[in-house]
Amino acid sequence: MTCEEEILKPFTATNGHVYAFEMKDQINFNQQLSLITLDESITEIIWKTEDSGVLVHTRDEFIQVVANAETHKRSNITKYWTLKAQVQSATTIEGIEAITW
């Protein structure tokens, strides 16, 4: 459960702003990215940040935020896979207990 909890936490993008990333936020990111991919005339995206409220993002900035969101999610999934492998290869209770998120 920790992996999912970590994924759902807000993340800080490379633009320095903090973004919510609960399931509804992930859906909204994907929908907005689909829209700007389909309509190149969209040059600005208004998006809520956790640290500075609602901000105007350029198209490229928003795409970078979405890429940062994927990095946030992927890094937690990778950590989960690594820890799972460690648990599976542990040979003692102490070895298992020493593995923490």
Per-residue pLDDT of the chain (101 residues; tens, 9 = 90+): 699 999 999 999 999 999 999 999 999 999 999 999 999 999 999 999 999 999 999 999 999 999 999 999 999 999 999 999 999 999 888 888 888 88
Please tell me the pTM assigned to this model: 0.88
Strand partners, 58: 44
How many CB atoms within 10 Å of residue 66?
18
User: Cβ distance 44 to 55 under 8 Å?
Assistant: no
Smallest CA-to-CA distance from 98 within 87, 84, 85 is with 87
pLDDT at site 95: 85
Half-sphere exposure of 44 (CA within 13 A, CB side): 4
Domain boundaries along the sequence of the chain: 2-97
